[in-house]
Structures are given as structure tokens and as C-alpha cells.
Amino acid sequence: MRTTRTIGGGAIGTLLMVLLAIVVAGFLTWFFYCPCERTSGGYLLGDTPEGPVTDWSFANDMAQVPLCQIQVDAGLLPHSINLNCMSDDGELFLSCASCDGKRWSTAVLDNPEARLRAGGVVYPVRVTRVTDPETLDRAWAARAAKRGQPTDTPRQDGWWSFRVASR
């Protein structure tokens, strides 16, 4: 009778299971917890509003909404990132420097329906790029005001803005 002997086979299997559990836990933490600083994330968690938002002025409160997070459909998994958000006359804008070709901006140009988290609440929104120079200047000034910077500074080249509407 022949027997096969494995040395440490049980220990290797256990180690592989522990490593797999760590990888899965890390992925799930990233997917549901981020975006973090400059690291993108996946699905945005948070409370949901009872109805559409008609006045986004609350987004200018740096203590409550220092940044917004946008979640777009970018293929197999959702993609979310941190962005500057600011309100002018109740309208909400997102800003993006050197935005051409970024994953999220390309995705939102293809599909404007997204989810936006502001102050822990996740809103279903429609995001459209602003190209009108007057509206871009308004959004730029609102961004500067929110950040405590001079509002008369000229807008940067390559700076994009997007209008956000509740849906």
C-alpha cells in the first residue's frame, strides 16, 4: 500500500485561505469606503434624500461638505472620486483640472446619470459639462469663494466644470 505524505500541506492551505480573506477584505474596504484622498473608490454609501434637491447652497459649507464624491458607471464596477463642489445661486457645480481623458469625466460624458455624495447623503444626479464661458466664470468664482480665495482670479486653462441636477 502506497501513502502520499505532504509536509505542511494543511498549513499552506490555511495560509492561502488567510491571504485570500485579507485580499477580499481589502477589496471590500476600498470598494465601499473610498474614495480616499486621491485614491478612487467604488460604490458610494450614505443616506438617501426623500426627494429631489432644488437648492444646493448647503454644498458651500466647508465644515459640512469640504468635497463631494461622484460615482459614475465606468464599466464592470462603479468608479468614484473626490471633487471640488460648489454652489452658485442654488446650482451645484463640480470642478476638474486637466479633466480631458480622466476616467470619471469620460464616463459621465458617455452617461450623465451618476450618484453624488455630499455631507454623507447620496443623491441620484444628472451631470452635464458646462462649456458656456459665463457659466464657467460663475462656477470658478463660486469655487474660489468656497475655498476662501480671491474670486477675481482668472480661470485656469484646461479647467472643466459640470452642472449637477437632482433627478
Domain count, the chain: 1
- Please report whether residue 3 resides in a domain: no
For residue 57, the enclosing domain spans 9-167
| Higher pLDDT, residue 150 or 8 | 150
Per-residue pLDDT tens digits for 89-137: 999 999 999 999 999 999 999 999 999 999 999 999 999 999 999 999 9
158, 100 in Cβ contact below 8 A? yes
| In the predicted structure, residue 146 carries a pLDDT above the cut 90 | yes
Residue 26 counted as domain residue = yes
Instruction: Report the pLDDT value the prediction gives residue 54, as an integer from 0 to 100.
Output: 95
Phi, psi angles (nearest 5°) of residue 96 = -155, 125
Q: Which of 102, 65, 107, 88 is nearest to 164 (CA)?
A: 88
* pLDDT tens-digit map of 11-59: 887 877 777 767 666 676 656 656 776 678 889 999 999 999 999 999 9
Q: Is the pLDDT of residue 74 over 70?
A: yes
Is residue 2 included in any domain, yes or no? no
What DSSP line would sit under 25-78, residue for residue? HHHHHHHHH--BTTB-BSPPP-B--SS--S--GGGG-TTT-S-EEEEEE-SSSE
Asked whether residue 30 is domain-assigned, the answer is: yes
The answer to the question of residue 129 being in a domain is yes
Q: Is residue 109 part of a domain?
A: yes
pLDDT interval class at 76 (50, 70, 90):
confident
In a domain, 1, yes or no: no
CATH number of the domain encompassing residue 20: 2.30.110.10
**What is the reported pTM?**
0.81
pLDDT at 131: 96
The mean per-residue pLDDT over the stretch 55-65 comes to: 96
